Amino acid sequence: MLIYLPIAEVSVNAYLLLGLGGVIGVLSGLFGVGGGFLMTPLLIFIGIPPAVAVATGATQIVGSSASGVLAHWRRRTVDVRMGLVLLAGGVLGSVIGVRIFTILREKGQVELLVSLCYVVFLGAIGGLMFAESVMALRRSRKGGRPRVRRKRHNWVHGLPLKMRFRTSNLYISAIPPFGVGMMVGILAAIMGVGGGFVMVPAMIYLLGMPTAVVVGTSLFQILFVTAVTTMLHATQNYTVDMALALLLLVGGVLGAQVGARLGTRLKAEQLRVGLAGMVLLVCFKLAYDLVARPADVYSIASFGGGA
């Protein structure tokens, strides 16, 4: 069943969009990521203009993240205080990111910017996560004791403005989580992502948060940052397609509940390997599209006029 998308100005199969939303919802509940790192490229691949894919993809993340947060809230695996610090940085970052997006859209450079950002960030973070997770799985299969991240005093602990995050059992400066949140806000505005692929590793390896708390807290921050980003895109760039967003939202909300239930049955190392693998696959696809020879190298058109 084809449906016409007025802002994107294309016709797309409605069932395909529902399926995409459902897959991203499962990823949201399973890994604690908004899923935009996969949604935005997929929307572009099926013919949605990049500017509309970025803005509308953020809208879908709001729904799937809200559904995932509710599931984790019931299990009390959301550090609200940490989430609020991340959120403060995320709101500031989203304002900055939307401004950058608007300037580059006016110059016609949005598609190149989005692709380059995906390749750089997904390649670096996916590679690091995959290597660390594979080593952790090998240690567990050999029967050795899993590596415990000791609470060492590093540069994070030496920063001022310390706060106590009881749910995460941490006493650290609020500056690093604020900075992580701001970076995620910028990425949400420019790339149409929730930023979980950046925030989840940062919360685990930089801030030292327990993996069980990371997923719910990540979704808490993603929910509000993507909501702010969506409003900014809708009021400043007019690139939010509500018909597209609604179909993605329905599938995303249902999928997030399924993902949250599946997440309780898998080990933390398995979750990280799966997330890293998907990040790298998307990165390779986008990198290939940037360097691959196009089907039509030259375009010949007649502009009229005299001979």
Confidence band of 30 (pLDDT split at 50, 70, 90): low
**Per-residue confidence (pLDDT) for residue 143, from 0 to 100:** 62
pLDDT reported for residue 306: 46
Query: What backbone phi and psi angles, to 5 degrees, belong to 55?
Result: -70, -45
pLDDT score of 305: 47
Pairwise pLDDT comparison (306 vs 225), residue with the higher score: 225
Task: Say which residues have a Cβ less than 8 Å from residue 210's Cβ, sequence separation at least 6.
Answer: 168, 169
Given phi > 0 = left and psi -120 to 50 = alpha, else beta, which region is 240? beta
pLDDT at 113 exceeding the cut of 80: no
> Could you read off the pLDDT of 271-296 as tens digits, one per residue?
667 777 777 777 787 777 777 766 55
The highest-confidence range among 21-35, 82-96, 166-180, by mean pLDDT, is: 82-96
Per-residue pLDDT reduced to its tens digit, 34-50: 566 677 777 877 888 87
Looking at residue 3, its amino acid is I
What is the predicted pLDDT for the residue at 302? 46
pLDDT at 117: 75
Residue of 212, 220, 208, 221 lying closest to 176 (CA atoms): 208
For the chain, the first-to-last Cα distance in angstroms comes to 47
Q: Would the pLDDT of 203 be above 70?
A: yes
Whether 245 contacts 59, CB under 8 Å? yes
Supply the pLDDT for residue 124.
Answer: 78
The DSSP bridge partners found for residue 13 are 2
